[in-house]
Structure 1
Amino acid sequence: MKHIRTTICILLLAAAGACNRGGTTTAESDEAAEPQNLLYGINADDYRTESGEIGRGETLGAILGSYGVTAQAIDRLDRAAKEVFPLRNIRAGQKYTVFIHEDSLYASHLDYLAYEVSLTDYVVFGFHDDSVSIRRDTKPYTLRRTKKSATINSSLWGAIMEQELPYALAAELEDIYQWTVDFFGIQKGDNFTVIYDERFIDDTIPAGIGRIWGAKFAQSGKEYYAIPFRQNGKLQYWEADGASLRKQMLKAPLKYSRISSRFTYARKHPIYKVYRPHTGVDYAAPKGTPVHAVADGVVIFKGWGGGGGNTLKIKHPGNLMTGYLHLSGYAKGINKGTRVTQGQLIGYVGSTGASTGPHLDYRVWRNGTPIDPLKIPQEPAEPIAKENRAAFEYVRDRIMAELNGEVKDEERITQLDSLPLPAPATAEAPAKKAGEEKAGK
């Protein structure tokens, strides 16, 4: 009898252990129960999912209605979504996914609809009994540090496309070098190298680019470095000697165009057929191309300029004035007396006045005398401060080494906020010598 009781106890203990190992009662089982199939932040294993695309003229209300969501619930969602993502912003061609559960009577109920705003951003609309919810989020992505070089045959954009690089790189490089590199003077053989973070969803789907970690642009045999560094709380790009890449004036007031006529005192006018001065630069560009102020200043003229058509004139520090002629229209809020900042939208390319086609006639005066916009001496913005020089050189040396060759992962600059600066050389020398003597003994 005693042996029987002992055997029963052993069997019960073994059964209890088996239950624990089976993962039904221990903390280990709780970990195993965590969702493994997250989709838009939702455990997709709990639902039946269906995906589709917004059709032309189709509304979110119609889609929700087809899944049994009531008109009252859709109205509540419409009002609640205005501050997060207005339903009118739904666009044809964008992907959506619905999450459906079935109740005890096998009736289908839609709990969530996830709408992809872009390749990376999405909105989740939720329906919970008598309430609704809206959540805007971003898909998780990984960053891959990339270094690419390209030689230009025609234009920066052309080189980007030829090398199948992210199109956003062209816009980023133009923004960084807009004060320094003459993109209208690009010549065959000019080249660039750039280090940047590329985003990937699921490690395979390209999803744009992140930070530019450094660049080198060679134009007409001269190299222009772009070194990222944070000064006064603002991340900017600097030349190798610590001078700011930002200058007093932008190289040009618009992008994506070509120079059709240059500064001269003897140009045959295309309409009047006589030789007369053309004290400006003509940028041929499609009608509606954005035009930006090349420097901070105040609008001193807005109106009809005779042969110049719709015209803006802006006064800048240093007795400089710029003019923008033949505009098709002006940006909102631009009036005489308006203060503008460098890079601010001020108008749009047009063909008003004496013009044979859409273009911008851009002019610059100093002390009332016309000067060639392509030959303006550029004064740089504030350089690297003395107290930041050591930190800047630490970043610069590593970025330049990476641009010009290969470096180990641990030697790369991966953050710009708290830099692990080396000790001053004067403090290193004694320590090094003492270490060498100790090793010698």
Structure 2
Amino acid sequence: MKKYWVEGVFVVVGIALITWIFIQKQNPKPQEIAEEPEIIAEPVLKFGLPVDSFYIEAGTIKRNQYLSDILLKQGVSYQTIDEIARKSKPIFDVRRIKQDNNYYFFCTPDSNRVTQYFIYEIDPIEYVVYQLGDSLNIYKGEKPITSEIKTATGTISSSLWNTMKANNINPVLAIELSEIYAWTIDFFGIQKGDKFRLIYEESFVDSVSVGISAIYACQFQHANTDFFAFQFEQDSINSFFNEKGESLKKAFLKAPLKFSRISSGFSNARYHPVLKITRPHHGIDYAAPTGTPVMSIGDGVVTRKGYQAGGGGNYIYIKHNSVYTTCYMHLHNFAKGMAPGVRVSQGQLIGYVGKTGLATGPHLDFRVFKNGSPINPLRVEAPPVEPVSEANQTAYNHLKDSMTMRLQTIPFGDEQMAAQAKMQASLPKVETAVKPAN
């Protein structure tokens, strides 16, 4: 009897266990859901300071406004202003604050608006911070710079500068291109219908452009001839070479100044606008505003510098080699350090456009002498500098081919407009039902 009782208990327990397992399978225990960690937003910084911790006042330096004028209105004492001026000198001389530059006050967010920091923007990138309080702390900072690889294309209608602006392209590129092609294209003679396309890098601070960082490749079509430029590093120096690996830099610049017009050409018989007589004019007159920088077209030595009352006004002569000498006349004044015997380099500032001497308006009278005789500056042919070396030829060809393929993907000049017009013309016309008159 005992035996059957024990077996019965085991049977009952077994049935109960099986039943419990079945119920658990039918109603599984809900899994615990792990809570996601709380994401804390990064603070918004301006000049390295969290903006939500301050009340910020912004201002702009006005004409004839000094630092003391600005700080006194903010409740900063004369004693603190004097301390700022003295301690700031090794970092930034406060006498150099410029009109139209921005400044900011970072104040406590309460109703007292106590100034904690004064920040002055030296330029779009650099700024100086004055931390006010029990002890004055002064330091410089720089805004983060972002770069973007961009492309540009256009067709010349009036000038390169105007074409850039018309195509919403940074017009500074016009200056960059004029420097790259200074030895191969006369930018005073570019023609309507000339076109270009290029790949470049532009830098931004606070979404505002602060300049062109680099130009990697360009195709400029002038007078139906293609001029290519590829940036390549050789001997640790970045320079520009054409599709054959030849340097775009020549012994001389095409012109001694940027973006002006030729008001008078080279002639053996020109009617002088002041003397009212016909006489030779063995130079090129470049009309430009007074103060326009004038540069040496090549390396050389200053041989003469002076003033000619009855003709050339302020003038300077530069001997480049045993063959060529150049002369720059009617200068408003000379660059610092110019004197006979001083060596100058290609592109170095030597003076400024003026109208000294016999001149009806500001211009540069530029002359070139070959073996002592005047020649037309526009017809000077100069040898190129070193091409891509044989050791670098493989690397250069790889870069050139890659950049050429990328250039070919950019619509050339007005091709983009033509493609858009063609696409527009191919679209089916939608007829509009005309409602009959009552």
Normalising to structure 1: TM-score of the pair?
Answer: 0.79
Q: CA deviation at 1:301?
A: 0.9
Aligned to 1:122: 127
Q: Does 1:97 align with 2:104?
A: yes
Of 77, 87, 95, 1:88 maps to 95
Cα distance, 1:67–1:273 mapped onto 2, change above 3 Å: closer
* 1:131-185 deviations in Å (ceiling 9; x for gaps): 32222312x2432221111111121112112222112111111111111110111
Of 223, 235, 238, 2:238 maps to 235
Aligned to 1:333: 337
Aligned-partner Cα distance in 2 for 1:384–1:121: 37
Aligned-partner Cα distance in 2 for 1:290–1:386: 38
Structure 2 counterpart of 1:368, which letter? G
SS of match in other structure, 1:98: strand
Aligned identity (percent) is 42
SS of match in other structure, 2:311: helix
Cα distance, 1:73–1:134 mapped onto 2, change above 3 Å: farther
Q: Does 1:257 align with 2:260?
A: yes
Cα distance, 1:346–1:402 mapped onto 2, change above 3 Å: same
Q: Does 1:159 align with 2:166?
A: no
Aligned-partner Cα distance in 1 for 2:311–2:64: 45
Cα distance, 1:147–1:365 mapped onto 2, change above 3 Å: same
* 1:412-433 deviations in Å (ceiling 9; x for gaps): xxxxxxxxxxxxxxxxxxxxxx
Query: Does the 8 Å CA contact 1:308/1:354 hold for their aligned counterparts?
Result: yes
Query: Does the 8 Å CA contact 1:350/1:358 hold for their aligned counterparts?
Result: yes
Aligned to 2:115: 110
Structure with greater contact order relative to length (CA < 8 Å, sep ≥ 6): 2
Query: Does the 8 Å CA contact 1:351/1:358 hold for their aligned counterparts?
Result: yes
Aligned-partner Cα distance in 2 for 1:121–1:190: 39
Structure 1 counterpart of 2:78, which letter? A
Query: Does the 8 Å CA contact 1:73/1:132 hold for their aligned counterparts?
Result: no
Q: CA deviation at 1:107?
A: 5.0
Aligned-partner Cα distance in 2 for 1:95–1:349: 32
Of 59, 66, 69, 1:59 maps to 66
Q: Based on CA coordinates, which of the two structures has the bigger radius of gyration?
A: 2
Aligned to 1:194: 198
Cα distance, 1:208–1:341 mapped onto 2, change above 3 Å: closer
Moved more, 261-270 or 323-332: 261-270
SS of match in other structure, 2:251: coil
Aligned-partner Cα distance in 2 for 1:392–1:300: 40
Aligned-partner Cα distance in 2 for 1:384–1:355: 45
Q: Does 1:245 align with 2:248?
A: yes
Alignment of 1:14-93 (within 5 A): 32=40, 35-93=42-100
Structure 2 counterpart of 1:240, which letter? E
Cα distance, 1:363–1:92 mapped onto 2, change above 3 Å: closer
Query: Does the 8 Å CA contact 2:266/2:282 hold for their aligned counterparts?
Result: yes
Alignment of 1:418-429 (within 5 A): none
Query: Does the 8 Å CA contact 2:53/2:109 hold for their aligned counterparts?
Result: no
Moved more, 206-215 or 170-179: 206-215
User: Number of residue pairs matched?
Assistant: 379
Structure 1 counterpart of 2:272, which letter? H
Aligned to 2:408: 404
| Structure 2: tracts of 5 or more residues without a match | 1-33, 412-438
SS of match in other structure, 1:317: coil
Aligned-partner Cα distance in 2 for 1:61–1:406: 54
* 1:51-98 deviations in Å (ceiling 9; x for gaps): 233333333233323333332322222122223322122233333222
Cα distance, 1:183–1:63 mapped onto 2, change above 3 Å: same
Moved more, 237-246 or 87-96: 87-96
Of 373, 391, 394, 1:390 maps to 394
Aligned-partner Cα distance in 1 for 2:396–2:141: 38
Cα distance, 1:329–1:368 mapped onto 2, change above 3 Å: same
Structure 2 counterpart of 1:190, which letter? D
Q: CA deviation at 1:368?
A: 0.8
Alignment of 1:280-319 (within 5 A): 280-305=283-308, 306-319=310-323
SS of match in other structure, 1:229: strand
Of 349, 352, 356, 2:353 maps to 349
Structure 2 counterpart of 1:278, which letter? H
Query: Does the 8 Å CA contact 1:197/1:209 hold for their aligned counterparts?
Result: yes
Aligned-partner Cα distance in 2 for 1:150–1:141: 28
Query: Does the 8 Å CA contact 2:47/2:141 hold for their aligned counterparts?
Result: no
Aligned to 1:175: 179
| Structure 1: tracts of 5 or more residues without a match | 1-19, 23-27, 408-441
Q: Does 1:364 align with 2:338?
A: no
SS of match in other structure, 1:75: helix
* 1:328-364 deviations in Å (ceiling 9; x for gaps): 2211110111111111111122222222222111111
Query: Does the 8 Å CA contact 2:313/2:356 hold for their aligned counterparts?
Result: yes
Cα distance, 1:55–1:280 mapped onto 2, change above 3 Å: closer
